[in-house]
Amino acid sequence: MTTRSASKMRRILDCVNKSSKLMARRNSVWTAERTLTTPYDKIEIPNCTVYDYVWENLEKWPEKTLSVCSATGRGYTYEQAFNLSNAFAANLRLKLKIRDGDTVSVMLPNIPDFPLIAIGILGAGGVISTINPIYTPHEVQRQLIMSKSKAIVTMPESLKVVQEALKLAKLNIPIIIVKTNGDATPENTFCFNELSEDVHVDKSCLKEVRRSPTDTCFLPYSSGTTGLPKGVELSHRNLVANMQQMNVSQIRNHEDTTETHQDAVLGVLPFFHIYGASVIMFHKMSIGAKIVTLTKFNPDNYFNTLEKYKISILYAAPPMILLMGAHPASTSETLQHLRTVINGAAPLGSQDVERFLNKLNRKADVRQAYGLTETSPLAIMPPVGIENYQTIGYPVSNTEAKIVDDNLRPVGPNQAGELLLRGPQVMKGYRDNPKANSEVFTVDGYFRTGDVAMADEKGLITITDRLKELIKVKGYQVPPAELEAVLREHPAILDAAVVGIPHEVKGEVPKAFVVLKEGQKVEAKEIKNFVKEKVAPFKRVEEIEFLDKIPKSSAGKILRKDLKATNT
């Protein structure tokens, strides 16, 4: 037997032994108190920042590609990214006066510069707050105010939106532009390319940075279980713990980067969302993978990129799995390099997975994971090799779960209830929102997910329904309260309620129920256009229904179930 064959055999035996241990421990997942523990190996959480964690093994793969644009081939090696991001970090402190704990907003599509900008902000001691690049000025200004941003990074094509947002917010903060061509830098802006390529900048100022693992490093905005967007405070420890959890052998989906091997991961899920930022961007930087960015999604680009860049790991949302199961360009040839496909963002049916596997025409590691912005995001994951496509698996390492009834009492196997989670990846809390924190954290420190789940006798968890009011459009969260507030700004509208209704392609879409002020008349089309001007495309109201009165409880809460019942 050759040395290489012997090494491979040892790895296989090691996996078999670990799988055997996992099987043996599954019966102990349920505790006597009806808590769900994890069967996965315990992790040690390094006492470091995300910046230090990501660059820890840089010397192992300096010449490997960190990020590359699928359309243009423009990209960076790990060594280039390290040097450029540090120069950018130094200039953030020296020229823009960013200090420890200051928030810098990032409003970008998935471009190869995104990882450099994000890690550069952390290197400067800052906090990253991401904004969807298709947001309107109305949406952007609200987040800039809530996050107390001291600067914003964006593209030239988004500059007008940002400028209008700053006017609305009455803010005067620096704008950093990322140029991907030779155009001149717009007036009164900084150029990321110049800040990062400044070979004369004094990087010694970065020694002044003092950030601890418990400090907030990432501030995405989520609607939680209900209501308007809230700032989710994720610490360095939260993200580092979650990356360590992803590395555990029973669930990991990457192979080690070596001189002869580098996993290629498709950066199609948005980096401005926690799924893309943590799982695809930061974690894959920490293991030396190649991140292939897809700025604009269309089927031809998507399938061409999968084949051309030999994508081995794909993190997907349901619309992408559905596309791969139905599109003519989806063939065993275009999908030939895929080794692992992880679905997240929303549940997926077994039949949808089977259609995809028929196109693939071979076995692959296909699993359905579960996470939330508030859990950094990964919280529950099936083991490698599972062929149950409905389950989301077991709590990840160092994580506990409970399924509870309406009185927060734990239920047993095969009983439905709200899913609660506790672990090192759970957020610090919602920024400046003690009321929301008191609603989502129990007295014993569990986070209330707002999702209805069930676990079988072995502890395998399945999401069965959603308690939360969020509408999921193609995996994006749409909070009804936000649309209701926009609707009530219309001069003819007295009251409004929004619910999600089923849609063949998008999963769900928003439908608005509207009560007009006395004597007012307005067409549904006009209301749709009014909302359209104020929100991103995925939040647009698809249907309008006029009512005399919005059904509400005695406490004044909208009875959304009653409204949804009219659409069944």
What digits encode the pLDDT tens for the residues 479-538? 887 898 899 889 999 889 999 999 988 889 999 999 998 899 999 999 999 999 999 999
pLDDT at 27: 47
Asked if residues 198 and 204 have their Cβ atoms less than 8 Å apart, the reply is no
pLDDT at 373: 94
Residue 500 lies in a domain: yes
pLDDT at 556: 60
Q: Each residue of 72-123: pLDDT tens digit? A: 999 999 999 999 999 999 999 999 999 999 999 999 999 999 999 999 999 9
Residue 441 lies in a domain: no
Residue 341 lies in a domain: no
* Reported pTM: 0.85
Hey, is 210 helix, strand or coil? coil
* Tokens linked to 565: 């019942």
H helices present in 463-506, as ranges: 480-488
* Tokens linked to 520: 């007012």
CB atoms inside a 10 Å sphere around CB 328: 7
CB atoms inside a 10 Å sphere around CB 478: 24
Residue 353 lies in a domain: no
Residue 153 lies in a domain: no
How many domains would you assign to the chain? 1
Task: Indicate the length of the chain as a whole number.
Answer: 568
Residue 510 lies in a domain: yes
In the block, tokens 């990882």 appear at: 115
Asked if residues 118 and 92 have their Cβ atoms less than 8 Å apart, the reply is no
pLDDT at 332: 95
pLDDT at 1: 45
Asked if residues 543 and 501 have their Cβ atoms less than 8 Å apart, the reply is yes
What parts of the chain have a pLDDT lower than 50?
1-6, 8-9, 12-13, 16, 19-27
* Tokens linked to 188: 């009164």
351: left (phi over 0), alpha (psi -120 to 50) or beta: alpha
Residue 554 lies in a domain: yes
Query: Which residues form the domain of 491?
Result: 471-565
- Say which CATH number the domain at 496 has: 3.30.300.30
Q: If residue 116 lies in a helix (H) or strand (E), which one and from where to where?
A: helix 114-123
* Tokens linked to 152: 């914003």
Helices and strands: H and E segment counts in the chain: 17, 28
Residue 235 lies in a domain: no
